[in-house]
Chain A
């Protein structure tokens, strides 16, 4: 294995024995799990940044500390637009923040390891050890290698710290998409906001929305401000209305107005409903993305009816039974499990629980949260004076609401 810090000190020597100092190496990030070196880059005599295909430079002499190549004059200028797209190991990866997916942590690449695989030199490991720092500071006099802190590149996600890179077509492995949304959100809270926005932009929309739901509110706002109008509309449409409302609340008046105007109709309506309730009331912390079921259905009909509505809302533990979909007057509640286990011919009205504890939207949020926690229920419906269902206060929102302020973002979300 070769270290990038070592190769940087090598000379590039051609057949005419002309030599230059290596400035950087570009890699093909999307070519397999271990990106192969594409070009070796250096400054030519005209002070231009030029690149030579690595396949012409494959003889590495460790003793002489040089890499043999055919002809340095064959090097082509590295265009400016390539500089924004290409990944250069020294400029972009060495010393940069990387996401270690195996150990779920954010760290710095103190050195990079290259090795020969299938006739190619590939980026194989990121060295995050203190030994790597000492090695570099001591010009490789310090030779100790700490293999425990050598991370396989196939478990590393590299971000450029620029959300525009995704829009400009930069490639990513997207290994991070294999993690759970909560784990990705854990990364987001530890990385700078531009890296976080880049990560959100590159994730598939649904996963990005799930991750945003679990991200701390400061970061949510910063990320949203980096999204373009189209992405922002898409995200708002996928987020739970209460999360959307939380983001809108942090905006200035004119920005809030603009954001609400741009939102899809249904999404705007749901967020606006929540924004009508003053801070500290039940209405301000409830979710209004609730699945309801008309009273007059059988269980079989109910199962068919629920197929579509159950696809989107975040809270699906309880299904609320209302007189009609238009009036939304609350008549009872039924758990999803009961609908699955009941006989198909049973009437919903017969198997639902009619004695439902309800909350008022203008009630105090903290008191209501304690009431819900004490009741050991997953949620309580919120109704107006005519018993019309406005939303539900979930146990997740209740716990977050009573937690100390700096723990709120860490409160677990189990039911929503």
Chain B
């Protein structure tokens, strides 16, 4: 048998290595050494790790959107480094939640809303998708407002930047393949590196920064509200939706799941390091001079200029633009995935308008709505974000509960079912998020009753 195989192989002349200019993969098949030039070489060293990055990094980075930047900047301006320790806790929680979603996607080949509809029924599916549609719709508007505000820092009118950004995002998703779109999204995450640069340029006292990682708990409502805001803005339902749906679209199967886990962890760590950089940048500049009120991300960039110079403003502005662009693409995509999964419409960036018309129409509609409303001069972005935050807050514990139930379903997950450690971390996250959300609602009601 071996000889016969070798005889057949001898018929093919061996291509010369120098002529080809690339290395062959060496395999030993049935005792015979073979050099296969057609086998793609697996990336080695650092590239091996960069190669696995994908949905995890994109989903987590998209969470650092315009609203997120505003919250982190505000946390730094108001409380200095005091809330940095919370970010460490949230990083663990985010990593656990995102990893579970990636695992669900790989184990089942289905998106989160797909599974919610099938396992928990129509009512829960419709409940979840209704909130997602409204909350994500609001967020998409805020991302386009973020794009307009970021480029206005450089003197470009929002009436030019917003439609242009919308067209670019639309073209990318409608005409690109998933692999191309993912690569561009990954490149866009590089913009977040502007924030560590801004943090270093702010010249913080690193000893004080280190002290920020020591937990300090206050009971005043402003501190608690900010703490809850940080949790809510770092772990948002659309990140879980996108993580799972894009893991599915990437084509990750259960047998190759290991790499996705690294991606989910790396994404969560990267995105929260960027968030911490925003806190450090504003704490070292605005908090120390007593400027504690920041309402939006562009406010933060403008406020930085007199303290840390025009370069700091520009860097912050670039970061805001990149973050808003990424979220403006990810959010409509995550929403279109979710709606299609709920109702069973064909979906996917790899398909086209002909084969997934509702998916692409939805995506287009959300972009048009987001960009269109963002151009209305009197759109109350802060109020809108506040409303969206409440909706996302209401949805998050429910989504987490579903994720935890699904990821523990042995029939669905087989060998990728949650381990004990994961369950401890998962349920702890659920408790943390639920407490935070209840706290947020409690504070809102308290505010309404007392008029504070």
A interface with B by C-beta (< 8 Å): 95-97, 105-108, 110, 128, 133, 136-137, 161, 189-190, 192-195, 216, 218-219, 221-222, 225-226, 245, 248-249, 252-253, 256-257, 260-261, 265-266, 268-270, 272-279, 283-284, 328, 361-362, 384-385, 388, 390, 405-406
Contact = CB atoms under 8 A, between A and B. Distances in A.
Contacts of A274: 38
B177 A406 contact: yes
18 contacts: A106-B346, A133-B122, A133-B126, A136-B122, A190-B355, A193-B251, A225-B253, A253-B27, A257-B28, A265-B5, A266-B8, A268-B5, A273-B9, A278-B37, A279-B38, A283-B38, A361-B15, A406-B176
Contacts of B9: 269, 272-273
A362 B16 CA distance: 10
B4 interface: yes
Contacts of A128: 344
B38 A108 contact: no
B40 A279 contact: yes
B253 A277 contact: no
Given A96-B118, A265-B5, A222 B253 contact: yes
Interface string B166-209: 00000000001101100000000000000000000000000000
Contact of B38 (A189, A218, A252, A284): A284
Contacts of A277: 15, 37-38
A261 B5 CA distance: 11
A236 B250 CA distance: 24
Interface in B25-49: 25, 27-30, 34-40, 42
Contacts of B11: 273, 328, 388
B445 to A, nearest CB: 29
A278 B118 contact: no
A136 B126 CA distance: 11
Interface of B: 1, 4-5, 8-9, 11-15, 19-20, 22, 25, 27-30, 34-40, 42, 108-110, 114, 117-118, 121-123, 125-126, 176-177, 179-180, 248, 251, 253-256, 343-344, 346, 350-351, 355
Shortest 10 CB-CB contacts between residues of A and residues of B: A108-B344, A406-B177, A192-B109, A218-B251, A269-B8, A193-B109, A278-B37, A275-B38, A275-B36, A222-B253
- Secondary structure of the A contact surface, majority rule: helix
B15 A384 contact: no
Contacts of A106: 344, 346
B109 A194 contact: yes
Given A253-B27, A265-B5, A278 B177 contact: no
B251 A219 contact: yes
B203 to A, nearest CB: 47
B42 A253 contact: yes
B19 A221 contact: no
Most buried by A among B36, B108, B110, B355: B36
A278 to B, nearest CB: 4
Given A192-B248, A226-B253, 15 more contacts: A95-B118, A107-B344, A108-B343, A190-B346, A192-B110, A225-B254, A249-B40, A269-B8, A272-B29, A273-B11, A276-B14, A361-B15, A362-B19, A384-B13, A406-B350
Contacts of A221: 251, 253
A268 B29 contact: yes
Nearest to B22: A278
Nearest to A107: B344
Contacts of B13: 384-385
B423 to A, nearest CB: 23
Most buried by B among A108, A137, A257, A270: A108
Contact of A272 (B34, B118, B180, B253): B34
A278 B346 contact: no
Contacts of A107: 344
Given A192-B108, A265-B5, A256 B27 contact: yes
Contacts of B176: 406
A257 B27 CA distance: 6
B255 A225 contact: yes
B109 A222 contact: yes
Contacts of A190: 346, 355
Contacts of B180: 405-406
Nearest to A136: B122
A221 B250 CA distance: 12
Nearest to A410: B352
B15 A216 contact: no
A332 B36 CA distance: 30
A108 B109 contact: no
Most buried by A among B37, B114, B255, B344: B344
Contact of A256 (B35, B39, B123): B39
A95 B344 CA distance: 9
Nearest to A270: B8
A193 B344 contact: no
Contacts of B351: 189
Contacts of B8: 266, 269-270, 273
A406 B350 CA distance: 7
B184 to A, nearest CB: 13
B221 to A, nearest CB: 39
A266 to B, nearest CB: 8
A274 B12 CA distance: 9
A369 B248 CA distance: 33
B36 A269 contact: no
A137 B126 CA distance: 9
Contacts of A195: 109
Contacts of A272: 9, 29, 34, 36
A46 to B, nearest CB: 23
Nearest to B7: A269
Given A97-B344, A269-B9, A137 B38 contact: no
B348 to A, nearest CB: 9
Contacts of A133: 122, 126, 343
Contacts of B343: 108, 133
A384 B14 CA distance: 11
Nearest to A105: B346
Most buried by A among B27, B38, B177: B38
B108 A194 contact: yes
A345 B8 CA distance: 34
Nearest to A328: B11
Contacts of A253: 25, 27, 39, 42
A136 B71 CA distance: 41
Given A95-B117, A192-B109, A273-B12, A278 B38 contact: yes
B102 to A, nearest CB: 15
Contacts of B42: 252-253
A361 B16 CA distance: 12
B29 A257 contact: yes
B187 to A, nearest CB: 17
Given A97-B344, A405-B177, A137 B109 contact: no
A268 B4 CA distance: 11
A265 B4 contact: yes
B251 to A, nearest CB: 4
A278 B20 contact: yes
A60 B256 CA distance: 51
Contacts of B27: 253, 256-257, 260
B349 to A, nearest CB: 9
Nearest to B27: A257
A277 B37 CA distance: 5
A399 to B, nearest CB: 17
